[in-house]
Amino acid sequence: MNKSATRALVTGGSGGIGSAICRRLGVAGHFVYVHAHRSVAAADAIVSEIVTAGGRAAAVHFDLTDADATRAAVEKLLEGGAVQVLVNNAGIHDDAVFPGMSATQWRRVIDLSVNGFYNVTQPLMLPMIRTRWGRIINLSSVAALIGNRGQVNYAAAKGALNAATKALSLEVASRGITVNAVAPGIISTRMGDAAFDAAAIADIVPMKRAGSPEEVASLVAFLASEEAAYITGQVISINGGMVSG
């Protein structure tokens, strides 16, 4: 079987990092399902880019926090066969210092990253296991490794993903499935550029620059490849030399 010709689902595929991952997996030969919830037009645009470049892709739209809607969407995807590469990239910030953080801010960040991970990953597992080959890559954050002021909710959500990564990797390692997490530091996206100016980046990051979405995507694509078959249960931080716990 050609492991580069698998079907891949990227959640949050319309965002800065997600879209770079989708493009990179498309170049690698995967059929890419670009997921979005509200950014339908953006997901469709990414699909067009991948197809124009000679790849194969389709957009899928559903709310990861809606368990029933997610399961229905996943079951429809499975009608065409197992999804063997899953990139759990969807996530949100809703920052506030903890004493002033509302219950809504806490719940919505946890809900998307943690419950969303369960909602989409769990129904994909048995079909993936039956093929005896798979790659699950969870997008975490350096905030889960070293913390960040104003992001207790985000750090907690991504820390939970790190723990789930390690536990799930043990359950499926013997079935040819790897499970890893990628923990970006400061990445040049609309969200990252709004949070950190050049002076702050130079102070925080030893490399004195933000990373690019394409650099994150290259790491994800490697972990999704046959060459990464002996790497599992790892949290790999891509952060320009920031201390990462």
pLDDT, tens digit, 9 for 90 and up, residues 89-122: 999 999 999 999 999 999 999 999 999 999 999 9
The residue type found at 189 is T
Report long-range pairs for 121-127 (Cβ below 8 Å, ≥24 apart).
121/86, 121/88, 121/168, 123/70, 123/71, 123/74, 123/75, 123/78, 124/9, 124/74, 124/78, 124/82, 124/83, 124/86, 125/172, 127/78, 127/81, 127/82, 127/83
Please, is 54 exposed, middle or buried when counting C-beta atoms within 10 Å of its C-beta (0-12, 13-18, 19+)? exposed
Q: Do the domain assignments include residue 50?
A: yes
Among 33, 118, 154, 230, the one annotated catalytic? 154
CA separation for the pair 164, 22 (Å, rounded): 23
Residue 243 lies in a domain: no
- Its domain, for residue 128, covers 3-238
pLDDT for 194: 55
Number of domains in the chain: 1
Asked whether residue 245 is domain-assigned, the answer is: no
185: helix, strand or coil: coil
Active site residue 33: no
Residue 134, both tokens: 């798979």
The answer as to whether 109 is a domain residue is: yes
- 54 Ramachandran zone, left/alpha/beta (phi>0; psi -120 to 50): left
| Contact status, residue 202 vs residue 242, Cβ threshold 8 Å | no
- Nearest-angstrom CA–CA distance, 97 and 20: 31
Cα–Cα distance measured from residue 168 to residue 179, given in angstroms and rounded to the nearest whole number: 7
Q: How, if at all, do strands 134-139 and 85-88 pair?
A: parallel
What pLDDT is attached to residue 148?
A: 92
> Residue 163: which H helix or E strand, with range?
helix 152-172
What are the tokens at 117? 């991970």
* Single pTM value for the model: 0.94
pLDDT of residue 123: 98
Spatial contact of 25 and 85, defined as CB atoms under 8 Å apart: yes
CB burial of 142-151 (b: ≥16 within 10 Å; e: otherwise) equals: bbbbbeeebb
CATH code for the domain in which residue 62 is found: 3.40.50.720
Helix, strand or coil for residue 162? helix
What pLDDT, on the 0 to 100 scale, is given for residue 85? 98
- Below-50 pLDDT ranges, the chain: 1-2
Residue 23 to residue 41: CA distance in whole angstroms: 16
